[in-house]
Each structure stands twice: as structure tokens, then as C-alpha cells.
Structure 1
Amino acid sequence: MNTPARLGAYALGLVVIFGGALGVGNAVGATGPGPAADARTIHAAPSASQAGDHGTHTEPAPGPAATGEPVPGGLQVSQDGYTLLPQATTVEPGEATDFRFGVIGPDGKPVTAYRTEHGKRLHLIVVSRDLGSFQHLHPELTDDGVWSVKLTLPEAGAYRAFADFAPEGGRGLTLGVDLQAPGAQEPEALPATSRTATVDGYTVTLDGDLTPGASSKLTLKVGMDGRPVTDLQPYLGAYGHLVALRAGDLAYLHVHPDGEPGDGTTLSGPQITFYAEVPSRGDYRLFLDFQHEGTVRTADFTVRAGELPAPATTSGPAPAATPSASASHGDHDH
């Protein structure tokens, strides 16, 4: 049997498997809020806010059926007819593993054609459930639709893998699947909220607040030894790449960079500006990848989204909608 046929047969068998043991835990939100068992599956490992007390708190977000809002990215293993299918969901901790997976399209076949978004055809984000471990990887795609990347899960515990991609002819998607590194698990408490992060001698400061239901401007400033870094190098089509994850359910949020290298207006530091829209109050983890002197580094923050905007109260006709900042940065869709 040739490789595409093997993958097709594998996909058929794995679809059956996902319909049973993994279907509940990895397709959260696919059909709206479920019974209590679904909530327990979402939090298979204690959430960061449950594991310890740093004064942080995340409110459970209402389900899409209750709010009419779309399901945030990464909470489902299947969406719009596309399904993320790993060949294995158990990875030995501390060992480099050839992690292989495919994306099955609406026609039941492996997807082999992807648009390039942010410099890559697919971004694989792997985080621990307590959001203490973060990896941003770029797998290689074979002609038969199998993605492969070396993955090391640093410690035993529960993890979530997000595939962020845009199939040719389709819109951008983020699908998620749970991974497990067997062994004794000791989830860490969510790091305390902070406006400053340090990594490898660099200091990154955050300016701006997350406002639920609105586009929020976030400006990150990179410095080293007390001096601003003004010669950042392009990474993934921008001077930085920001991933935002909601504590608790690990909803993956799209964050859009403002400007791009070579556009005549965007400076190469020290400031990098993004626009993010979060759906609910609570705690979020931000991970900024930036490149300087040929090395990519990651600065991480815990931030708390504030109160929901007050509903408009008018007696006359509603005003015309104004495009949000994220809409005006639509060229950066994932």
C-alpha cells in the first residue's frame, strides 16, 4: 500500500478513535456547552488558577450557544470540515520525538496545499496545560500530507498542541489536540501578572490593556543593558510574533502585528505593536517571539483582561458600525 493510501486508511481509523475516547476532550465547543463531564475533560490537569494562589483568577467563559459568539481558536479538533489527526498523543517526557500529524480535509483526504501565513505554511504551538512551557515549532510537510517535527515535552504532564494554518481555498484555522507526557504531574501555579519580562539579558516591557470584546493595542518594548534595542531582525514577516492563550481552557487568540519590515514606516525596535481581541474577562498568557543577533527568544507575560464594555443605551437608531483595529489589520489574518 502506498503512503497516501496508508495515511487515508490511518485517517479513517483515527476518525473512529476520535469519535470515542478523544472526541470529548479535543473537540470542546464543537456543538456548544456540554454536560459537566465536558468541563472536567477540558481541565484534565488542574488549571493554573486552581493549582496555586498568585492572586489571579479566570472566569469560565460562557459557551458559544449561550452567547452566539464563535468558538475561539484551538478548542476544537475539527472545524469547517477540517480535522487535526496526530499519529500519537502520548510523548515520553524529556525525549526528542518525531511528532507526526496530518490535517484531513472536507473530502476525507489529507490536505497537501496550504497558504503561507507569517512566513510559514503551518505554525505548531505546544504548551503545557499550566502555561508554564511554550514552544513555537514549524513542521515540515511531505507530499502525501504528513507534517513532521522534532518535539520534546520537558516534563511529565498534560499539554495542548495547536496547529495554526490556512488551507488553499479556505480561511485560516487553529485546531487543537491534547498530548500527554506520562509520569507524575505537578502543575505549577499561573505566574503572577507583570508588565516586565526578562530573557537572556533582554528586558521586555508591556504597555496596554486587554479589554474584552474590543480590539486592544499592546506595545512591547525590547531593551538590553538599560538601552533600547533598535535593530530587531524580522521574524515570521514581522519584528515579533505574539501568541495569546486564555488561562483555564487555553483558547488560542489571534494577535495581529502592526506594520511589517520594509514598509517604510515600521521601525525595527525598540517597540513592537500588536492588536488583540479577547472574548472574556480573566487571565491570559502572552508569549512574544522576537529575533536579535540571529537568535529567536521568547518573553512571556501574565495579564488580566478588564471589565466588559458597558452596553450602549440609545433610544434612536444604532450608529453605523466602525471597523475595529483588528479589522484594519486584516492583512495579517492567520
Structure 2
Amino acid sequence: MNTGLKITAFAAAVAATFGTAYGVGKAVDPVTDKAPAARHGGHGGDRPEGEQAHGGEEGAAHAGHGKHEERGAAVPGGLQISERGYTLDLRTSRLTAGREQKLRFAVVKDATGREVTAYRAQHGKELHLVVASRDLTTYRHLHPVRAADGTWSTEVKLPEAGGYRVFADFRPEGAKEGLTLGADLAVAGDSRPRKLPAHSTTATVDGYDVTLKGELRTGAGGALTLNVAKDGEPVTDLQPYLGAYGHLVALRSGDLAYLHVHPNGGPGDGRTAAGPGVSFTAAAPSPGAYRLFLDFKHDGKVRTAAFTVHAKGADRAGADTGTAPGTSDGHRH
């Protein structure tokens, strides 16, 4: 074979090799936030605003705006940056620890490449934004402001450097279901990640003691009740916050899978007391460690109580497969 033919043959072989690699790359889903979307469980379809999930007043609240179906198993939301034709465009990708700065982002409709400007309000807001550190020691529940062009912004001050996850919880106008999309945020500074706080069923914040009763479980889930007390006395005059006496977000340790759990009942339904207990029904997507964040309002101020719990599962025989708090269950996320 002469030199010209050899070069031509080599070029063809290289092209074939890279062509094959490209085909494989297109066929295999990348392990990134932009993994293709699966079915999303959303905020409960076309339920009227204010109606409780799973059957209105008589139903328990659903466990997660971001739940979708993947290979037959329920998976929480917040793990993908794009889903069902929408993408979270985080336009502020880096902040500095200890400084109040503006966080900007938009929700883009993939089919048009344009920012979404019409939303259906849920719990009094068009969009709920949660920012949490990867070590789950810092948590913020924010309500940004949307400009006419669809760009959202909010002031935020994050105390520690390191990796964070931003969750946007929303429902575009005309969409059948809600979405929870997530994106990574870097906070510059001296990063000193901390261990996940130890398992605890009590939390103290601003002089309030909050006690958790019940267990987080997989499968059908279970009941959780959080009782609020101040100076040793039960609080019986909790104030409505975003249409409820409490909001609970659960984040799975490791990958920060997101569960937004609504309370059972609410103000004005004729059967739900304003404390001391706020009850929820929640199902964990897997056994393991979770961090729970309860927002409640009293004396005109919203406070957040945080807990670390270990979700338990059941084997086929129905036996408890959870492990004692503080021990390893061998499950990695």
C-alpha cells in the first residue's frame, strides 16, 4: 500500500473510531445534573390551589414535589437540572462566604429557549427556593422576586464556604404538574465541611423547643408530628405561614435528594389546631440518613428547626431493616 493510501486508511479508521465513541456517548446517559428527565410526580396534578394532596381534606399530604418514576421505582426530585422540558439556569454560580449577595437564576423552557414568565402560585408563591450546604448544616428557604423578563433574584448570605445545592420548586402555568429542579452552587472561602449532625428528635431554635414524634420510613411511609413549645409551655397559637402551620423539607444525606412534605390539614379547615403539633405524612425513597427542616411562624417571625433522622425500610417479609441511630446501614447514596 503506498503512503497516500496508508494515510487515507488511517484517517478512515480514526473517523470510524471516534464516530463509534460518539455514538456510545449519545446512547449512555451522562452522570451529571443534566441527566434526561423521567416522569415527575409534581405537586399533585391539577388539584385546586389550597387542596391537600391525596384526597383533599381527608387525605394525607404527599411526600415530595419532585417525585417521578424511573424504571418503575419512585425517585425524589431535585437531582436533575433539566426535566420534562424545563431547565434551571443558575446565573450566579459562585458566591463568597459571609457576604450578602444576590443570587440570580431563571427557568427556561427547552422547546423555545426562553425564560418562563407565567407560573401557577402554590402556597402563596410562584416559586419556592431552597439552598442547602452539601453537609446539610446550612439551610435557607427563600422566596425570590421575578422580573418581567423571567429572571429571578434574591439576597442570600451563606456563612460557610463549600458546595451547596439550589432547589427551585415551581409549577409553570399550563403544566399538569409541578417540578423541583436542582443545580450546584459554589461558595468561596475557607471550606471546612462538617459531619452530619447526630440523630436527634429534639431541636431548639430561638428559645423554642421542637420535638419530633414518629419515624420516617420507606414504602407507604408514616406519620410525623412536630410539637412546638416555648419556655416549657405548648405553643397553641402558631401563625399561618404560606397557608399552613408548618412546612417540612427533607434532604437525603449524600446526594441531597429532595422531599417537600405538606402538613395534614391547615388553617381554616375546621379541624386543624394552631399547635402545638403539626402533623405530616411522609415516605422516604430509601433507607438512610436524612436531614429534616421545619419552618414555623410564631410572634410574627419564621423559624427553622432542624433534625437528623434515619429512615427505615422493610424487607419482603415485613421485617424492619433500619438500623439504630448513629450506626451505619451500609447504604450509600
Q: Aligned pair 1:289/2:291, yes or no? A: no
Unaligned runs of 5+ in 2: 1-29, 39-68, 319-333
Other-structure match for 2:218: 212
Given the alignment of the two structures, is residue 94 of structure 1 paired with residue 101 of structure 2, yes or no? Answer: no
What is the deviation of 1:25?
4.0
| Structure 2 counterpart of 1:256 | 262
Mapped contact 1:280–1:308 kept (Cα < 8 A): no
Counterpart check, 1:174 vs 2:180 = yes
The answer on whether the counterparts of 1:84 and 1:103 sit within 8 Å (CA) in structure 2 is yes
For the pair 1:278 / 2:280, whether they are aligned, the reply is no
Structure 2 counterpart of 1:84, one-letter code: L
AA matched with 1:302: T
Query: Comparing 117-126 with 105-114, which one deviates more in the overlay?
Result: 105-114
> Which range moved further: 97-106 or 263-272?
97-106
- Note if contact 1:76-1:177 (Cα within 8 Å) is conserved in structure 2: yes
SS at match of 1:100: strand
State how far apart, in whole Å, the 2-side matches of 1:97 and 1:165 are. Answer: 23
User: 1:200 corresponds to which letter in structure 2?
Assistant: D
> How is 1:68-217 mapped onto 2 (pairs within 5 angstroms)?
68-105=72-109, 106-170=111-175, 171-217=177-223
Secondary structure of residue in 2 paired with 1:197: strand
Shift in Å at residue 213 of structure 1?
Answer: 1.8
- Encode CA deviations 1:180-206: one digit per residue, 9 max, x unaligned: 012332111011111111111110000
| 1:235 aligned partner | 241
* Deviant stretches of 4+, over 6 Å: none
Q: 2:311 aligns with which of 286, 299, 305?
A: 305
Deviation at 1:271, TM superposition (A): 0.5
Q: In the aligned structure 1, how far is the partner of 2:244 from the partner of 2:311?
A: 25
Question: Which range is displaced more, 218-227 or 100-109?
Answer: 100-109
Q: Could you tell me how far 1:151 is from its partner in structure 2?
A: 1.5
State the Cα deviation string for residues 13-65 of structure 1 (Å, max 9, x = none): xxxxxxxxxx854335758xxxxxxxxxxxxxxxxxxxxxxxxxxxxxxxx86
CA distance in structure 2 between the aligned counterparts of 1:29 and 1:132, rounded to whole angstroms: 30
If each structure's helix is expressed as a fraction of its own residues, which one has the higher value? 1
More off after superposition, 98-107 vs 158-167:
98-107
Tell me the equivalent position of 1:326. none
Letter in 2 for 1:92: T
Q: Tell me, yes or no, if the aligned pair for 2:74 and 2:285 is still in contact at 8 Å.
A: no
Question: Which has the higher Rg, Structure 1 or Structure 2?
Answer: 2
CA 1:28/1:75 → structure 2, altered by over 3 Å: closer, same or farther? farther
Shift of 1:108: 2.0
Counterpart in the other structure of 2:33: 26
Q: Which residue of 2 aligns with 1:324?
A: none
Structure 2 length-normalised TM: 0.74
Q: Deviations over 1:45-88 (max 9, x none)?
A: xxxxxxxxxxxxxxxxxxx86x5324421000000010000112
What is the match of residue 272 of structure 2?
266
Distance across 2 between alignment mates of 1:181 and 1:25: 20
Q: Deviations over 1:240-280 (max 9, x none)?
A: 01000000000001312111101111100000011111110
Change in Cα spacing, 1:229 to 1:260, as seen in structure 2 (3 Å) is same
CA distance in 2, matches of 1:226, 1:29: 50
Is 1:212–1:309's contact at 8 Å kept on the other side of the alignment? no
Identity of aligned residues (%): 58
Instruction: State the distance in 1 between where 2:35 and 2:215 align.
Output: 28
Aligned residues: 259
- Other structure's SS at 1:127 match: strand
- For 2:127 and 2:270, the matched residues in 1 are separated by 28
Give 1 or 2: higher strand fraction: 2
Distance 2:79 2:191 in 1: 22
2: distance between equivalents of 1:164 and 1:311?
37
Measure the CA separation in 2 of the matches of 1:150 and 1:305: 34
* CA contact 2:223–2:281 (8 Å) conserved in 1: yes
- CA-CA distance at 1:120 after TM superposition: 0.8
Aligned 8 A contact 2:205 2:303 in 1: yes
Are residue 221 (structure 1) and residue 244 (structure 2) matched? no
Shift of 1:134: 0.3
One-letter code of the match for 2:124?
G
Amino acid at match of 2:181: L
